[in-house]
């Protein structure tokens, strides 16, 4: 009995499109250093589904780890979720065996939905000699899978360089020094002598 799990030699039940596996260097938008990523592109074939309905599933799994996206499709009540889950499994398998990517670090950077070819039409016959047109839409999905690896943070100024080294530098100003002391409450053991009838602040 053939197994339903995709093997290593098979390419895909859907048309697979792969890109280069070289690392791409990007900067973290929060300034935490340099991030090296590898990407893998997977595109499904056109299947009968409305692009507007398929876009709802795309918005649901974008920016998620690929294992979490597969889990979301397992519990989704949408009819197209089974096809999307199968495509995610194939995308993860191809990224592992073709690009040597780590599945624990893979996530969906981008999920796009596109329309298929010209929608086929079918005549819908009605009563009293009337008729309508039934359009059967088709759509496809494109996944961009990234594998990111955090590298050592890169300091952009003197303060960040000192923080990464474990200390705080002195500024070139007379009588001014940066400290990292934690705020503590003042001791109120000193007695008040000659109190004023008003507050000083």
User: Checking phi first, is residue 50 left (phi over 0); if not, alpha (psi -120 to 50) or beta?
Assistant: beta
Q: Could you give the angle at which helices 66-74 and 81-99 cross, rounded to 10 degrees?
A: 160
CA dihedral 75→57→145→101, nearest 10 degrees, is 10
What pLDDT score does 148 carry?
Answer: 76
Residue with tokens 């995610």: 88
Indicate the pTM of the whole model: 0.60
What sign has the CA pseudo-torsion 160, 163, 164, 167?
positive
pLDDT on residue 39:
87
Q: What is the pLDDT of residue 180?
A: 61
pLDDT of res. 81: 95
Instruction: Look at residue 1 and give its three-state secondary structure.
Output: coil
Radius of gyration of the CA atoms of the chain, in A? 29
Token output for 6: 């995709």
Q: Please, are residues 103 and 66 in contact by the beta-carbon 8 Å criterion?
A: yes
Q: If the chain, 201 residues long, is cut into consecutive pieces of 10 residues, what is the mean pLDDT of each piece?
A: 48 45 54 67 94 95 94 94 96 93 92 91 94 94 86 62 61 57 69 69 57
* Per-residue model confidence (pLDDT) at position 51: 94
């Amino acid at each position: 009995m053939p197994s339903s799990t995709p093997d290593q030699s098979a390419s895909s039940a859907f048309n697979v499109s792969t890109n280069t596996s070289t690392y791409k260097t990007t900067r973290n938008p929060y300034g935490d250093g340099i991030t090296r990523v590898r990407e893998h592109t997977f595109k499904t074939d056109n299947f009968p589904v409305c692009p507007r309905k398929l876009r709802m599933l795309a918005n649901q799994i974008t920016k998620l780890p690929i294992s979490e996206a597969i889990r979301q499709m397992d519990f989704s009540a949408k009819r197209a979720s089974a096809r999307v889950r199968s495509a995610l499994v194939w995308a993860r398998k191809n990224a592992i065996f073709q690009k040597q990517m780590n599945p624990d670090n893979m996530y969906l950077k981008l999920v796009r939905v596109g329309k298929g070819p010209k929608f086929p039409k079918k005549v819908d016959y009605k009563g009293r000699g009337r008729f309508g047109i039934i359009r059967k839409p088709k759509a496809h999905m494109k996944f961009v899978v990234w594998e990111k690896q955090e590298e050592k943070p890169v300091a952009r100024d003197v303060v960040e360089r000192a923080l990464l080294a474990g200390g705080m530098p002195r500024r070139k100003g007379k009588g001014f020094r940066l400290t990292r002391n934690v705020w503590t409450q003042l001791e109120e053991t000193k007695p008040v002598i000659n109190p004023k009838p008003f507050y000083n602040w």
